[in-house]
Structures are given as C-alpha cells and as structure tokens.
A and B are shown apart, each in its own frame.
Chain A
Amino acid sequence: MKGQGGEVRRRVRQGWTSPAWLLSLMMGCTGSLLLSCLVFAQEPISTPPEIHVFDTPNDGGGSLTVQWAPASWDGPDVRYQILVGDASSTDPSTFTVMAEFPANSKYLKDTETAWWTRDVDKSWHHIVVRSAKGLEIKDGTSYAVSVATMRDDQRLFTPVIVATPSPDWFNWNQLNNLIIAASFGGLIFYTISHAKRNNIFLRRIPGLDAVDEAIGRATELGKPVLYLTGAHDLHDPSTVAAAVILGKVAKRAALYETELMVPHREPITMAVCQEITKQAYLEAGKPDLFKEDANFFITSDQFSYAAAVDGIMLRKKPAANFFMGHYFAESLLLTETGASTGAIQIAGTDADHQLPFFVTTCDYTLIGEELYAASAYLSKEPVQIGTLRGQDIGKAVILTAIAVGTVLATFGAVTGAEWPQIMLDFLSDVK
C-alpha cells in the first residue's frame, strides 16, 4: 500500500506537466476563482480515508457506484476525479477519467434514495459511473477504480479498488411502492369477500331522497318523468350505475303511476334498461302499467340526440329530469332546456369536466364517486360495496399518513432532527 502511495505522488508530478491537465484545471478553477477562499487553501489535502466502490444496486447493470466520506477541505478549489481502468492494472494515473467535479458537489443527499437502500451517511460523496467516451462499462467485467483529490498542482490517488457491474433483479428503492400495491390489492379482495358474507354499512346518499321528492312532485302535477342514462355503453361503470338507479326511479314511478320516458343513445343499453324497467314495475305490483316504449332509441349522434331530447322536454314538459351516467358537451344543451321548463333536475355523473354545469343547472347533483356509491347502495352488490369499502379504507390510510407526516415534517423542520425524515421516506417516491 505504502509503495503505491509513493508511486502516486510521482505520477502527480508527471500529470502536472501534461498540458491537458493544466487546461482542465484552469477551466475548473476560472469559474470558481472568487470562491477559492483562503480558509481551505491552507489546509493540506489528502486522499479520502475510506472509499466504497461497488456494483450500483437496483439497476439494470452497466454502472458502478463510488462513495466516500466528506473531508474538511471539501470546497470549490479542490476537485475530485473518478478514474477507471482495467482490473489487472494497479497504476491509477493510467486510468481513464470518467468524471471530474468540485469537491463540494455530488453528495448522496442530492440523489433521491430511501434509508433502506443506504449504507452510509447522506453527507457522503456519491457518484454513479457509466459508460463514457473512452471506456465502456460492461456487465460481468471487473474494473479498477480510484478517486483522485486535486488542488493546484497536487493530485493524490486513493488505493485501487476492483468491482464488477451486474444487472439486478429487484429495485429495492421501489419497495414501498410494491408494499402499497400488494396491501391495497389484498385489501380490496378482503373487503369484497367480507361484503359477500356480511352487511356493510354505507351511508345514505342524500341525492336519493331527492329522487323520491322529484317523482312525487311529477305525480302531483300529473306530468311525466324523464330519465337519461348518459353517453357511454354498458361497459362503463357510470352507465351501469345509471341503469341501477333507473330501477329505483322506475319502481317509484310505477307506485305513483307516473309516466316514465327513457330516451337512449345506444341500442344495447336500451334493451337492458327495458328489462330493468319491466322488473321494477313487477316489483311495484303494477306490471299492467309497464309500457314497452317507455325506453326508446333516438340516435347515437351527440348533438342530434341532445336536440331531440330538448324537443321532448319542450313538448311534454316533464316535471322531473334525471341525468345519470357519463356526459360530454351535450350536458349543457340538455340541462339548460330542462331548467327553462321549470322541471326539478337531478344529475349524477363522473364526468368531472361537466360537473360544474350540472351543479349550476340542476337542483341536485351526485358528484363523481357518489354516483357509484348510490348504485352500490341500491343494488347491494357485494363486489361494488366491497370495492367502495376498500377504497374508503385506502383513503383513511392516506389521510392518516398525511396527518402523521405533517406532524413529523413540522417537528423535523422546527427541531432540525433527522429521524422524522426516515419515516417520511416511506411516503416518498424514490427511484
């Protein structure tokens, strides 16, 4: 080891005479000339006492990581070089320079890493060496690595360390992501199976009370009820929810003996809704009142459909309009006309870009997930209820994490303690 050190020093002098070194040193120093204060200039530099060179963990291969402890002279006037060479060679001065940077840069804390993948303190220097011009870093080949400390005419090398890059089969930085995915997935299936066996409480959705009220008023006025199921087909959960809620509306309409009109944009949805309506009339004990043409197909064209429904609203003046399911720009055309006829309007949609218009033109609006919840509440379908329940627990966990995290972050900021960050790492996205 000692012999090597002597060799190093001699090489430094050789290096100094090389014009290329002179140039690179000058380039490095000009930028930081003003900063090269005298405080550090007096202190003698040496090589880092401890350096770690190893295959970069959690990566696809082709790189090595070099880490070493910070030194008291780390400043803009001192520079570090990373040198890589053939595994068999022992003389660092013949190595290829893979990186060169001021000694007060490239710390582990600058990179996003989680505590469970760190072996050394965050204040250590940290650099990842990849293939560059002059040297290709290949998996399975060993390389000799050295770090040089340089100031003015001095250039000191650390002993050479040999390491071999290789690809990895798991990225431990994403461990938190995997744990969240697995536990949330498990949770959903648990709550679904739980919902199959038990009754799960779901809160009453206030909008559903408004449904009864609206149909009641239509009955009083002796006017029909209009129900729309949205723009999507039955593959979309919002349309399914709309069809489920139609069942409730139809049953209520049958009980009150009020006329129901359901204009459609999609033939298959129409057929399914016809069955649902029929079933509702049966359940209400009024099968004779069921009319086959309560559900009818208009057209699949967006604006022509809207115009046709507007026409129905103006002619038949329904006292209650329901807009459930997914809507696009036609929502405004529909609800505006409905509002102008003085009907009670109830909407439920997961189309967030249309929600503002529904809220301002309708008397009651089921917002986003409320539509699914209303349908789960009515249908008592365990998969739907279980999923809602699982998502609720997920939200509760996130709320708790945010609350605990905020307390920890505030505590950390006020006291300057580092341990809260350790907890917070789990909530960060590190890769």
Chain B
Amino acid sequence: MDATIFGAWVATGLTLLIFSFLYKDNPLFKLAEHLYVGVSVGYTIVKAYDTVLVHLVVKPIVEQGEISLLIPVGIGMLMLTRYVPKAAWMSRYAFAFIVGMGAGLAIPRTISSFILKQVEDTIRPLLSLAGSDGVTFSMNLLNPASNLNAIIILLGVSSVLFYFFFSIEHTGAGKAVARTGIMFLMISFGAAFGYTVMARMSLLIGRLTDLIEYSDASYGRPTIWLLMGIVGALFLLSRKGQEHPPDSH
C-alpha cells in the first residue's frame, strides 16, 4: 500500500480515537492519548539529539575546533545528574546558572518593553492642537488614537491597576474605582472568551477538513470505515463494562 494512503488511514483512525472521548472517557481514547505522549516525547528526543548534539556541539567542535562549547555541554550534563540521587545536588549548578541568567536578562528588558513602552503609550495629550482651529477634542471611537479613546484607555489602565491593589481597602471612592476596574476586566475577559471560542472552533474546522479529505474514494474512504469500526468497538466496550461495573474512584 502507498505510504500516503496508509498514512491517511492511520491519521483518520487516531483522530477518531481521540474524538471518542466525546462519548466518554474510554480505553480507545486512553490508548491514543498515551501513544500521542510517547510519539511526541520520542520526536523531541530525536530532534534534540540531531540539532543540539550533532549540529550545535559535535560539528562545531570537530570542524571548527570550538572547544569552548564543551562548557555548556558540561553544564547540561550536570543537569542530568538529577537522575542519580547521590549526585542530584550537582544539578543545582546548572539550574543556578540558567535561572540566574534568565532572571538577569529579563529585568532590564521587561522594564523597557512592558513598563516604559506601555506607560509611554498611555500618556497621551487629552486635547490636541489642530492647526489654526486651536484646541480640539477628537471623539471618533473607531480611531484608537482619538482623544476620547485616549481617555477611555487611561481610565481602563488606572482602574484595573487600582483593582489589583492589596494594601488599600476598597471603600468610598476606592470602591467606585475598583468596580470600574472589574467592569473593564469583565469586558476584556469577554473579548478573550469570544476569541477563545473562535480558536477552538477553528481547530475543529481544521480537523473536520482533514476528515472530509480522507473520506474520499482515492484513499479508500478511511473516515467512513473507521468511524463504523470505532462505534462498534465502543458499543462492545460498553456492553463489557456493564457486565463488570467499575468500582468507585
């Protein structure tokens, strides 16, 4: 059999096995789930071996004589001492280095990218000087840079920042600000909600597009045959399950 056609059958079968979770958690789903974890771990190991060991370490050392690359290899090896209980403490050196370096790299860059830049963009003139017209106030909601939207953004940023204040009681005026903050938060969560729904639906559309493609006669209609097979298997499994009810837990 052609590798593509065989592939179509395997891909369809695995897709349907995962979808069987919709009926309920069942051994077929568990089988596919474990296979998935195994294959992706195997894949990662192969890639790490090929990219790191072959292309980033061995080749440069052998071909260019970059002996200094043995240092990170040594640090990496220290990391693997986690598997040897007696030497596990040596892995701390490796973690100390990468965590320390990561923290150091992050501090100034986070300040520049997410604090200075974001504060800079929030500070906008609330009125603008438009040529000879003198002072104006632009109300266009659809232009995110308009004065009205600048005020709304300012309001949103400050009230939400205030909501996450923990050393002040939310009473009096603070209560009003915190309530504004929570409303802004909810609208943003709503937007996130809408977008997440969109994303999940897109994933389903993607999978179904593949299944539709594989229901074609040129592949031997794996979608249809395998769907029938899996429904049958689930039916048998549920019959078997009824004979031996699972104990609780």
Asked whether the complex places CB atoms of A and B closer than 8 A, the reply is yes
Chain A residues within CB distance 8 Å of chain B: 174, 176-178, 180-181, 185, 200-204, 296, 301, 303-304, 307-308, 311-312, 315, 352-353, 355-357, 359-360, 367-370, 373, 376, 388-389, 392, 395-396, 398-399, 401-403, 405-406, 409-410, 412-414, 416, 424, 427-429, 431
In terms of DSSP, what is the predominant structure of the interface of chain A? helix
A180, A202, A352, A431: the one contacting B167 at CB < 8 Å is A202
A301, A357, A427: the one contacting B120 at CB < 8 Å is A427
Most buried by A among B21, B33, B120: B120
Are A424 and B193 in contact (CB-based, < 8 A)?
no
Are B193 and A180 in contact (CB-based, < 8 A)?
no
Can you show 17 pairs from A to B with CB atoms below 8 A apart?
A174-B108, A176-B116, A177-B116, A180-B111, A180-B116, A203-B165, A204-B169, A296-B249, A307-B24, A307-B25, A352-B192, A368-B164, A388-B166, A392-B165, A405-B123, A428-B120, A431-B112
Q: A367-B185, A369-B164, A373-B166 are in contact. Are A181 and B108 (CB under 8 A)?
A: yes
Q: A410-B127, A416-B129 are in contact. Are A308 and B116 (CB under 8 A)?
A: no
Most buried by B among A180, A406, A409: A406
Are B164 and A370 in contact (CB-based, < 8 A)?
yes
Are B122 and A402 in contact (CB-based, < 8 A)?
yes
**Cβ–Cβ < 8 Å partners of A369 in chain B:** 164, 166
Q: A398-B161, A427-B119 are in contact. Are A356 and B196 (CB under 8 A)?
A: yes
Are B161 and A399 in contact (CB-based, < 8 A)?
yes
Are A304 and B107 in contact (CB-based, < 8 A)?
no
**Cβ–Cβ < 8 Å partners of A410 in chain B:** 125-127
Question: B20 to chain A: closest CB distance in Å?
Answer: 12
**Cβ–Cβ < 8 Å partners of A395 in chain B:** 161-162, 164-165
**Cβ–Cβ < 8 Å partners of A406 in chain B:** 122-126, 154
A406 CA to B155 CA in the complex, in Å?
A: 12
Are A308 and B123 in contact (CB-based, < 8 A)?
no
> How many of chain B's residues touch chain A, expressed as a range?
35 or more
Closest 8 CB pairs of A and B: A413-B125, A307-B25, A405-B123, A356-B193, A429-B116, A356-B189, A409-B125, A373-B166
In terms of DSSP, what is the predominant structure of the interface of chain B? helix
Q: Which of B232-249 contact A (CB under 8 A)?
A: 248-249
**Cβ–Cβ < 8 Å partners of A176 in chain B:** 116
A136 CA to B193 CA in the complex, in Å?
A: 56
Are A413 and B127 in contact (CB-based, < 8 A)?
yes
Identity of the chain A residue whose Cβ is nearest the Cβ of B110 in the assembled complex: A181
**Cβ–Cβ < 8 Å partners of B92 in chain A:** none
A354 CA to B112 CA in the complex, in Å?
A: 28
Q: A177-B111, A203-B168, A368-B164 are in contact. Are A357 and B193 (CB under 8 A)?
A: yes
Are B167 and A201 in contact (CB-based, < 8 A)?
yes
**Cβ–Cβ < 8 Å partners of B186 in chain A:** 359
Question: A398 to chain B: closest CB distance in Å?
Answer: 6
**Cβ–Cβ < 8 Å partners of A200 in chain B:** 167
Most buried by A among B29, B108, B123, B157: B123
Question: A81 to chain B: closest CB distance in Å?
Answer: 35
Question: A277 to chain B: closest CB distance in Å?
Answer: 18
**Cβ–Cβ < 8 Å partners of A428 in chain B:** 116, 120
User: Does B100 interact with chain A (Cβ within 8 Å)?
Assistant: no
Are A303 and B33 in contact (CB-based, < 8 A)?
yes
A360 CA to B186 CA in the complex, in Å?
A: 10
A91 CA to B149 CA in the complex, in Å?
A: 57
Most buried by A among B34, B116, B190, B196: B116
